[in-house]
Chains A and B, each alone.
Chain A
């Protein structure tokens, strides 16, 4: 299959119009030594039905899709309603590109405007952009924003922030000569005492996660007052689903909010494509990376939407742009918009409450198992760490046979927590699945 509509006769006529004898002639400016000779070593072409079969077979080599997933750690198994897939399947959305021509792009533009509004509502921020690649790159770029505004060159990132967010932040920081320092945790949350010691006059920002990587609720008021006193920017990475029950970060002084928007209508998809949420208070607006949609009017007096404040962006500003981002995760942002419309004002609260109640049921039950205990007594949202009597890697491996993905062994990224398993519960987990996990854990103790 190659999807080419030109017939041999078409090609002949076209060559005649161009004034060349062969297609080959159109490539005559490529130095002969550089012409690729022979065949690329790739599998031969397949018909559509063969491709369909091949892809089904590859998908069937995976088994994790049929398991009860208690792994969270940055990607969560929430239900994706049919309406989301239905809308995303409309090719008016998915076969368009960045809305450079607003007159024929109102669908993409208006849906982004709605998305921006929803994110502002959830976070309490003044402005949200049209999306970043994922939560980690959003956090990394927010550090750049803060450093640019404060003209300071140190970023403090809590060790209770997702290890991959910390990793990406460090990579990005290298390009800006920003030093990233890690704030230790204590009792499963950022150590305020250590943070205070580290807050020097060169600290541009402090990055925390709420709930943090362990699922725990950070002492945000205390952290915030220290950060503000030091004249630094508080950057909070949220699990946006938690904002159904937790207060918006603006209420405790966050000035930049980032987050992994996968939870809003995007499947786990082996880690991508996800959705980077980035929202800021007004004073950071013109330093924001990425696309931003604004309302305007047309020459007939009607409301319409356009890309705005584009002088921040690479296609206008080139080397002086706030970021290099061009393609973003627009379709994932659309998924979030449809999902949040479906869930609505009541639904997000109720769903978040279900996650909390189910997670606490499971946590209570696990802490009643012989040999297992909760790592900390700190309040948590829908994810918690359990200290295990056996190697968590062994637990995970054993329970694969029971079609259970038991959790994320924290020792992979936290050597100091090598006997700890991180367990997440979404609204999809049934009591039976949780009880099966309990039985499995009990059997391994």
Chain B
């Protein structure tokens, strides 16, 4: 039976232990003989005192309070919650990968370097780009790296007056945040009536003060921007660069390549498109790919091959510098590598095809109750709005989502993108069966009917989870962000 679990601190008992240490074998003097007495800790940190059984039961019981892809459907839009193959996990747990020090001599880590080198090549091919850095630790980190590269590019051309980055109003929140973090002012571009970039508005703001445009394609509405050729022309003509946010790349593998669309820099999210899991929020991996003119700006080091051996190249003339210690999230790369080798070129394309098929299928099944802001075929995800339901029953997206929890489904992304009122953003991914998609569509329809027959049922949802609806406003008003002894 699932039930709430006390905090690990609350089951602590003085004197109880789980750990064991190897024999010391050497003399141990009082610490004050090694270290300045004034630097020694006098009060021990209040860490729990528990047995190994306590540790295992605590975290196992706790785990049962979580939804994950392995438990059920997780159609969280723009997050690509696809199935995570178990062989990838096994591969990443091999001691030959886990137990190697990042500063070990290159001749002792040739397997790791080969894997990284080949992954760089694979990602470049999928992206239609020339050169890849695996250093960024997540998508947003890739964005920041990419924007720093754009900044370095303009600086190298003595065009430091380019102080703006253009971002569509449908973009992920990380885009404007990354632009600002890299020192740019961000300018929002409105969407047109078909959900794409408003070309006229773009032309109006695109001038020599603009460093580049960040674009997700397909965008967060799940729509491919049909005007991409025109967009790249407008931006490039005025000397700007195009950044591709790869969060939605699951729609296009082997179907269209950002490099061919005219993008200059991109990041991929290995934890999304390449199925390394999301880990409850991380670790991710956000490799950056660039066209060859921009390779001189990549962060150091990059992995190279001289025909005999693989090595780390720190000699990148105009590098933006370092984005992270060491070389990136290596074990995540291992999983992405195994995934690409499993699927091969055809498998990747078929994955994107089915991801798009699955999304369109759900979309068409629920339209009797949910409104579609832009009536087009979607790509790997779509956005609908329960406007009629809201108007006629007072039930909101939040209520529908919370009620979905009672159906054993993780809700879609809510209230995003911001340009759609009460947005519900659904991304089913290719690894879900028609039965699962039908179950989800049926649930959304049933909930819509419940909204009319019993709106209270939705307002008070969820009913079947171990905890009910949580007071988020209260948590923010009076933040309690740690346990304290005697609390």
Query: Is B278 a contact partner of A217 (Cβ separation < 8 A)?
Result: no
Cross-interface CB contact of B470 among A31, A298, A342, A345, cutoff 8 Å: A298
Cross-interface CB contact of A4 among B5, B431, B469, B480, cutoff 8 Å: B431
Taking the closest CB of chain B, its distance from the CB of A129, in whole angstroms, is: 9
Contact with A along B260-301 (1 / 0, CB 8 A): 110000000101000001111111101000000000000100
**Using Cβ atoms and an 8 Å threshold, which residues of chain A touch B281?**
96-99, 108, 130, 291, 327-328, 330-331
Report the Cα distance A353→B26, complex, angstroms.
12
Report the Cα distance A400→B322, complex, angstroms.
28
Q: Is A93 an interface residue (CB 8 A)?
A: yes
**A99-B281, A103-B468, A302-B4 known; A245 vs B111 contact (CB < 8 Å):** no
Highest count of chain A CB atoms <10 Å: which of B18, B67, B433: B67
Cross-interface CB contact of B64 among A107, A272, A334, cutoff 8 Å: A107
CB interface residues, B 318-354, toward A, < 8 Å: 320-332, 334, 337-338, 340-351, 353-354
Number of A-B contacts (CB under 8 A): 711
Chain B residue nearest to A120 in the complex (CB): B482
Query: Is A102 a contact partner of B470 (Cβ separation < 8 A)?
Result: yes
**Using Cβ atoms and an 8 Å threshold, which residues of chain B touch A348?**
45, 47
Report the Cα distance A285→B124, complex, angstroms.
40
Q: Is B432 an interface residue (CB 8 A)?
A: yes
**A121-B47, A306-B472, A344-B50 known; A319 vs B177 contact (CB < 8 Å):** yes
**A297-B470, A302-B468 known; A176 vs B183 contact (CB < 8 Å):** yes
Q: Is A374 an interface residue (CB 8 A)?
A: no
Q: Is A438 an interface residue (CB 8 A)?
A: no
Query: Is A345 a contact partner of B66 (Cβ separation < 8 A)?
Result: no
Highest count of chain A CB atoms <10 Å: which of B89, B321, B324, B377: B324
Highest count of chain A CB atoms <10 Å: which of B271, B326, B474, B481: B481
**A63-B108, A243-B41, A294-B476 known; A357 vs B483 contact (CB < 8 Å):** no
Query: Is A400 a contact partner of B105 (Cβ separation < 8 A)?
Result: yes
**A87-B56, A167-B322, A300-B468 known; A318 vs B177 contact (CB < 8 Å):** yes
**A75-B102, A94-B84, A345-B48 known; A273 vs B148 contact (CB < 8 Å):** no
**Using Cβ atoms and an 8 Å threshold, which residues of chain A touch B21?**
347, 350-351, 354, 427
Q: Is A199 an interface residue (CB 8 A)?
A: no
Cross-interface CB contact of A117 among B34, B322, B483, cutoff 8 Å: B483
Query: Is B467 a contact partner of A95 (Cβ separation < 8 A)?
Result: no
Contact with B along A116-141 (1 / 0, CB 8 A): 11101110001110110111110000
Query: Is B345 a contact partner of A44 (Cβ separation < 8 A)?
Result: yes
Contact with B along A379-418 (1 / 0, CB 8 A): 1010000000000000011001000010010000000000
Highest count of chain A CB atoms <10 Å: which of B22, B45, B94, B144: B45
Cross-interface CB contact of B58 among A35, A89, A341, A427, cutoff 8 Å: A341
Q: Is A231 an interface residue (CB 8 A)?
A: no
Q: Is B423 an interface residue (CB 8 A)?
A: no
> Which of B205-213, B221-229, B236-244 participates in binding chain A?
B221-229
Query: Is B27 a contact partner of A135 (Cβ separation < 8 A)?
Result: no
Chain B residue nearest to A47 in the complex (CB): B342
Query: Is A133 a contact partner of B324 (Cβ separation < 8 A)?
Result: yes
Query: Is A270 a contact partner of B481 (Cβ separation < 8 A)?
Result: no
Q: Is A439 an interface residue (CB 8 A)?
A: no
Report the Cα distance A338→B7, complex, angstroms.
12
Report the Cα distance A311→B361, complex, angstroms.
35
Taking the closest CB of chain B, its distance from the CB of A398, in whole angstroms, is: 11
Taking the closest CB of chain A, its distance from the CB of B321, in whole angstroms, is: 4
CB interface residues, B 26-44, toward A, < 8 Å: 26-29, 31, 34-36, 38-42, 44
Contact with A along B41-84 (1 / 0, CB 8 A): 11011111110101110111011111111110010100101111
Chain A residue nearest to B152 in the complex (CB): A174
**Using Cβ atoms and an 8 Å threshold, which residues of chain A touch B96?**
56, 58-62, 65
Query: Is A379 a contact partner of B325 (Cβ separation < 8 A)?
Result: no
Query: Is A396 a contact partner of B105 (Cβ separation < 8 A)?
Result: yes
Report the Cα distance A114→B12, complex, angstroms.
13
**Using Cβ atoms and an 8 Å threshold, which residues of chain A touch B26?**
357-358, 361, 431
Per the CB 8 Å criterion, the residue count for chain B at the interface is 206
Q: Is A343 an interface residue (CB 8 A)?
A: yes
**A93-B68, A107-B66, A431-B26 known; A292 vs B481 contact (CB < 8 Å):** yes
Per the CB 8 Å criterion, the residue count for chain A at the interface is 206
**A4-B354, A324-B144, A324-B178 known; A65 vs B100 contact (CB < 8 Å):** yes
Q: Is A194 an interface residue (CB 8 A)?
A: no
**Using Cβ atoms and an 8 Å threshold, which residues of chain A touch B64?**
92, 107
Report the Cα distance A362→B97, complex, angstroms.
28
Report the Cα distance A217→B186, complex, angstroms.
44
> Which of B384-392, B446-454, B458-466 participates in binding chain A?
B458-466
Query: Is B377 a contact partner of A29 (Cβ separation < 8 A)?
Result: yes
Q: Is A220 an interface residue (CB 8 A)?
A: yes
Report the Cα distance A75→B326, complex, angstroms.
10
**Using Cβ atoms and an 8 Å threshold, which residues of chain A touch B107?**
400
Q: Is B397 an interface residue (CB 8 A)?
A: no
Cross-interface CB contact of B183 among A18, A71, A174, A353, cutoff 8 Å: A174
Q: Is B180 an interface residue (CB 8 A)?
A: yes
Q: Is B200 an interface residue (CB 8 A)?
A: no
**Using Cβ atoms and an 8 Å threshold, which residues of chain A touch B470?**
102-103, 296-299, 304-306
Query: Is B331 a contact partner of A272 (Cβ separation < 8 A)?
Result: yes
**A10-B433, A64-B109, A294-B476 known; A114 vs B35 contact (CB < 8 Å):** no
Report the Cα distance A134→B94, complex, angstroms.
22
Q: Is A443 an interface residue (CB 8 A)?
A: no
Highest count of chain B CB atoms <10 Å: which of A25, A120, A318, A354: A318
Q: Is A23 an interface residue (CB 8 A)?
A: yes
Report the Cα distance A315→B79, complex, angstroms.
13
**Using Cβ atoms and an 8 Å threshold, which residues of chain B touch A230?**
none
**Using Cβ atoms and an 8 Å threshold, which residues of chain B touch A59?**
91, 94-97, 111
Q: Is A90 an interface residue (CB 8 A)?
A: yes
Taking the closest CB of chain A, its distance from the CB of B160, in whole angstroms, is: 12
Query: Is A92 a contact partner of B256 (Cβ separation < 8 A)?
Result: no
Q: Is B156 an interface residue (CB 8 A)?
A: no
Query: Is A52 a contact partner of B108 (Cβ separation < 8 A)?
Result: no
Query: Is A42 a contact partner of B122 (Cβ separation < 8 A)?
Result: yes
**Using Cβ atoms and an 8 Å threshold, which residues of chain A touch B40?**
245-247
Query: Is B354 a contact partner of A6 (Cβ separation < 8 A)?
Result: yes
Query: Is B125 a contact partner of A41 (Cβ separation < 8 A)?
Result: yes
**A42-B126, A324-B174, A351-B19 known; A92 vs B330 contact (CB < 8 Å):** no
Query: Is A27 a contact partner of B329 (Cβ separation < 8 A)?
Result: no
Query: Is A345 a contact partner of B45 (Cβ separation < 8 A)?
Result: yes
CB interface residues, A 15-63, toward B, < 8 Å: 15, 17-20, 23, 25-31, 33-36, 39-46, 48, 51-52, 54-63
**Using Cβ atoms and an 8 Å threshold, which residues of chain B touch A131?**
282
Query: Is B70 a contact partner of A95 (Cβ separation < 8 A)?
Result: yes
Q: Is B1 an interface residue (CB 8 A)?
A: no
Report the Cα distance A5→B351, complex, angstroms.
11
Highest count of chain B CB atoms <10 Å: which of A40, A52, A329: A40
**Using Cβ atoms and an 8 Å threshold, which residues of chain A touch B356?**
23, 26-27
Query: Is B101 a contact partner of A405 (Cβ separation < 8 A)?
Result: yes
Query: Is A298 a contact partner of B468 (Cβ separation < 8 A)?
Result: yes
> Can you list 22 contacts pairing A with B, beta carbon distance less than 8 Å?
A2-B342, A2-B347, A27-B224, A29-B377, A42-B340, A64-B100, A69-B101, A71-B104, A87-B60, A93-B279, A102-B470, A114-B9, A174-B148, A270-B101, A299-B470, A300-B467, A302-B468, A327-B140, A327-B286, A330-B279, A332-B283, A353-B28
**20 additional contacts (CB under 8 A) given A36-B255, A42-B348, A174-B151:** A17-B364, A27-B224, A45-B341, A46-B344, A59-B111, A69-B104, A89-B89, A94-B89, A106-B466, A107-B66, A107-B280, A136-B322, A175-B180, A269-B98, A294-B475, A327-B137, A348-B45, A354-B24, A357-B29, A379-B34
